[in-house]
Structure formats: structure tokens, C-alpha cells
Amino acid sequence: MITKRFPAKAPDAPAETGPADRERDAKLFMAEVVPSSIPTGVYNNFCNAFALKMGASSSQMGFLAATIELFSMLTQLVAPRLVGILGGRKRMTVIATVFGAIPFAALMVVPFLPAGARVWAAIALLGLAFPLALLSDPAWGSWMSDLVPRHMRGRWMARRGAYQMGIYIVLGLTGALALDRLGDAAKWGFIAAFALALVSRFVSAAIFAIARDPRPGLRLSPAPPPWKMLRHLTAKTNLSGMNRYLMAMRFAMPFAGPFFSIYILNDLGLSYTQFVAAGVISGIAQMTVMPLWGKLADRKGNYFVLVTGAVFFSLWPTLFILVQETWYIFAMYVVLGLAEGGWGMAQYNFVLEHSTDEERSSAVALYRVIPAVGAMLGALVAATIALHMPQIFAYQIMTMFVLSTVLRSAATIALVPRFRPGKASPGPELERQSSGESPGQ
């Protein structure tokens, strides 16, 4: 793979920044967690609830998950190339952040559409909102890696994640209480949440605009085309092995994920506050253990944290068939928070650890795109079979939970041992894959 590297002191680019400037900008990146967490919190807490409010069925919730993954895959394919087209990581991050506000503006109009159009409009816009938020991720990850030293990155990401969870908790509880109080007028609560997300995206863009790129002349390698992604999947490298595992795991997740909101809100009849409180409890658990996961990742390695989280994450859906009480639902979300905090953080840090500076955006894109393919296929299959599954347990949807657990466990057992921890740079591995050479050459 040929990576273009422009001189750091080109006439149209400022000089590279020093250590003091990088420390200042790392603090700006940490402060940006506040406005960036609000749209994500709105999405995570109220996306499925809004779709159900607009009248989505079980199959339509599955198609919503598939739409999210399809758009996520497409945005990550073009994101690294846009860095070069738009003139660098900073410009890409600012523009992508602004564009991320558009779906939230459109979602404010959905409740006023004709009844027949509301569901599909909600699915299309909700499916676009999250992928657009990810559009800046390759550039952001590469930029952040230049600001935060490698030996501090696990703790830095854990601290940022803990702040993020705190904002999710406040936002989720406040919004859920408002929705319950509004009752039949809950659409105004959703509109207010989308408006807050809209404003927050512009605040994030403003913060990125005043931060400085340590290497403004750096141009990132584009994401490999589809046929080279297939070659990447067959390569015997750590990064390829992790992406194979995540593709299989993400295929299994939609067999349960999109249906938890249906199970909790429709089958069990919990309120918005109880539904969001379950997520809040999960967030508190995740926020509590993330610093511990970060320290563990710095000491034991990201692979160790990823495997530990994967075991819990694989078994989680089946635990819902045991008891149908509210307190038990909350307990299961505590388990989710404990596992998900380390599992998600370790994945991203594993990618950063096993990629060079110039290839990092492509590595992040592969990490986003390849698992998204699995998730999209899984969501389509799940949406197709959800209404036709036998009712073996108390509720029909529980059969999907068991199926998801079986698929997750199979992926973890079969694929996790196939990629090993290590600090060897996979940058040359990526180049060999793109040029057609085998990893052993």
C-alpha cells in the first residue's frame, strides 16, 4: 500500500506542534466528551423507544438494526479517503461532526408525518444518525493517537469513557422521567432530546476547530477495497484474527439486541423510566469498572481484557430467560456494564496498538466495516425469522435470546484463540495484504 505523506511544514500547513501543545489539545479532546456524549446518549437511550413510539414492529426493529449497520459500513469505507479529499484529519473531523447533526434535525419532524410514513422515516433517519457520528472516527482515532502517549492511552480512554457514562446516566434518567410525565404527549420529549443532540454536535465541531493537529501534513491511507478486505480476513495476523472474531460476534448480536426494548417495554410492560434505568445501572457499572479495565489493559494487555469481557458478553442474553422480575432485569444490565466496558475499550485499543500512524485510519475502518458486514447480515436474518420462532419459554422473543447466546459462544470459543497478543506492528502486514504478498514473506 502506498501512503502519501506530505511535508509537515508545507506552505499551506502550519508547523507540527510541540509537547505542550499536544498536552493542551489532549485536554480539549477530553473536554469534548461532554458535547459528544449527549447525541450518543440520546441515541442509545431513546432510539429504540422512539421507533416503538412511531409504531415499529419486531421485524421493523430488526430492519432498523440492519439499516444502522449498512450505513455504518458505507461511511467507514469512505471515511479514510475523505481525510485526503478534505485536507487533513482536523478538517475531516469538524465537517463530519457538523454533518452528524442533520439526522437529529430531521428526526424532530418525524412525529408530524402521516402515520404510514412515520415508521420508515424513523428507521431511515435513526439508521443514519449513528453511522454519521462514526464518520469522523478514523480521523479522530489517528489524531488522538498523536496526542495521547501509547503507555497512557488505556487509562485516558477509560477516563473518557467514565465521563461519557456519567453523562449518559444523567441524560437517560432525566429524559425518561420527562417522557413518563408527558404520557401521550411524549413526542415533545423526543423532539427536545433531538434538539439537544443537534446543538451538541455544533459545540463538538467548535471544540475540534480550535484544537490543533500535531501533524497537519499527514495524509492517511484509504480503506482497502472489498476484495482486499477479503484478503485481510484470510491473513494470519492479529488484526485479521480479531476482525474475523468480531464479524462472527456481531452477526450473533442482532438476534438479541434489537429485541430487548420490545421485551422490556411491550412484553414486561415496564415504563420508560424503568427501561432507561436499566441502561443507567449498566452505565454506572461500566463507569465504575472502566478505570480498572484501563489499568488492567496497560498491565496485562488489551487481548486479556478482550477475552475476559467476551466470556461474559457471550452468555448474557440467555440469562434473561431465568427470571422476569424488574430487579432481575436491572441485575442483568449490571452484568452487561461490567463486561461491555472492558470488551469495547480493548477492541479499539487493540486496533491502535497493532497499526502504524499512517495506516491507523485504514485499520480503524477495517475494524468498523468488517464487523458491520456481519452485523448487517445478522440483523437481516434476525428480522426475517423473529416472528416465526417457536415459543419455548415464557415469551417468544426469548428463543431469539438463546439463539444469540449459542452463536456468540461459538464465535468466542472458535475464533478468539486464533489471534494472539503481541506488540509487533501489523502495519507491514496490512501493506503485504494490499500488495498481494503473504504475511510470511
Q: What's the pLDDT score for residue 307? A: 86
Q: What's the pLDDT score for residue 206? A: 93
Q: What's the pLDDT score for residue 83? A: 67
What is the full per-residue pLDDT of the chain (441 aa) written as tens digits?
Answer: 333 333 333 333 344 556 677 788 888 888 898 999 999 889 888 888 899 889 888 788 888 888 888 887 787 777 767 766 777 788 888 988 999 999 999 999 999 999 889 999 999 999 888 888 878 877 887 788 888 887 787 788 878 888 887 888 888 888 888 888 888 888 999 999 999 999 999 999 999 999 888 877 666 666 566 666 777 777 788 888 889 999 999 999 999 888 888 888 888 888 888 888 888 888 788 778 878 888 888 888 888 888 888 888 888 898 888 888 889 999 988 888 888 878 888 888 888 888 777 677 677 778 878 888 898 899 889 888 888 888 888 888 899 999 999 999 999 999 888 776 654 333 434 433 333 333 233
Domains in the chain with CATH codes: 19-214+223-433 (1.20.1250.20)
Q: How far is CA 439 from CA 236, 237, 358, 416, 430, in A?
A: 7, 8, 19, 20, 9
Q: What's the pLDDT score for residue 1? A: 34
Q: What's the pLDDT score for residue 15? A: 44
Beta bridge partners of 218: 5
Q: What's the pLDDT score for residue 198? A: 94
Return all residues near 38 (Cβ < 8 A) that are at least 6 apart.
167, 171, 196, 197, 200
SS3 track for the chain:
CCCCECCCCCCCCCCCCCHHHHHHHHHHHHHCHHHHHHHHHHHHHHHHHHHHHCCCCHHHHHHHHHHHHHHHHHHHHHHHHHHHHHCCHHHHHHHHHHHCCHHHHHHCCHHHCCHHHHHHHHHHHHHHHHHHHHCCHHHHHHHHHHHCCHHHHHHHHHHHHHHHHHHHHHHHHHHHHHHHHHHHHHHHHHHHHHHHHHHHHHHHHHHHHHCCCCCCCECCCCCCCHHHHHHHHHCCCHHHHHHHHHHHHHHHHHHCHHHHHHHHHHHCCCCHHHHHHHHHHHHHHHHHHHHHHHHHHHHHCHHHHHHHHHHHHHHHHHHHHCCCCHHHHHHHHHHHHHHHHHHHHHHHHHHHHCCCCCCHHHHHHHHHHHHHHHHHHHHHHHHHHHHHCCCCCCCCHHHHHHHHHHHHHHHHHHHHHHCCCCCCCCHHHHHHHHHCCCCCC
Contact (Cβ atoms closer than 8 angstroms) between residue 161 and residue 345: yes
Q: What's the pLDDT score for residue 227? A: 65
Q: Measure the CA–CA gap between 439 and 118, rounded to whole angstroms.
A: 50
Return all residues near 183 (Cβ < 8 A) that are at least 6 apart.
none
